[in-house]
A and B are shown apart, each in its own frame.
Chain A
Amino acid sequence: QVQLVESGGGVVQPGRSLRLSCAASGFTFSNYGMHWVRQAPGKGLEWVAVISSDGGKKYYADSVKGRFTISRDNSKNTLYLQMNSLRAEDTAVYYCAKDRALEGPPMDVWGQGTTVTVSS
């Protein structure tokens, strides 16, 4: 079945970096756009970034632009989120999700999330 499994979360100090991974299985990964979405403690969902199926197009939320980089390795069926210059406000559960259709959103399958805590 279609599955997304995030990893790489943890506790990190402000200003440091972290890379999240999302391992995909059960579908042709290279055909679909992929997203990162986060949810801070007690807050709502915040869309973070999207990457097209071939990696050629990327969009970011203003809150992470210039600090986070989304990428993918279609040969490994894996999505990444490189997070630099982390801030306390980046503390959240990070989810990866796939586009429902070849043409694009909405997201139809989500992972269970990985927790990132930015704290000194």
Chain B
Amino acid sequence: AIRITQSPSSLSASTGDRVTITCRASQGISSYLAWYQQKPGKARKLLIYAASTLESGVPSRFSGSGSGTDFTLTISCLQSEDFATYYCQQYYSYPQTFGQGTKVEIK
């Protein structure tokens, strides 16, 4: 199975900050990477797919980049509603695998 290493596991940031989360795959996955947002009590939300394509309705302050093994999710100007846990996922091959998650907390 392809291993996904996500970092950091948590971070503290302030509203307005630029935040970067990274995922590294144990082998090349082309651009078959998605990013999700999870808030307590709410269903998981797809933010980005194909490494850099913004899902419809997702604010443009979210962006994704990378291909092959190294990927990045960037939130350009953190808003209060962005405090949540973020996961990356590879769907290049089965079993699909996820990063361990990054909890973005208020500083």
A residues adjacent to B (C-beta < 8 A): 4, 35, 44-47, 50, 59, 61-62, 95, 97, 100, 104-112
Interface residues of B in 1-25 (CB under 8 A from A): 1
Q: Can you spell out 18 A-B residue pairs with CB atoms less than 8 angstroms apart?
A: A4-B43, A35-B96, A45-B87, A45-B98, A46-B98, A47-B96, A47-B97, A50-B96, A59-B94, A95-B44, A100-B49, A104-B91, A105-B32, A106-B34, A107-B34, A108-B49, A110-B43, A112-B42
| Number of B residues, CB within 8 Å of A | 21
Contact B91 A106 (CB under 8 A): yes
Contact B43 A112 (CB under 8 A): yes
- Is B95 engaged at the interface, CB distance under 8 Å to the other chain? yes
Contact A47 B95 (CB under 8 A): yes
Closest approach, in angstroms, between the C-beta of B58 and any C-beta of chain A?
11
**Contact string against A for B residues 69-107, beta-carbon threshold 8 Å, 1 for contact and 0 otherwise:** 000000000000000000101010011111111000000
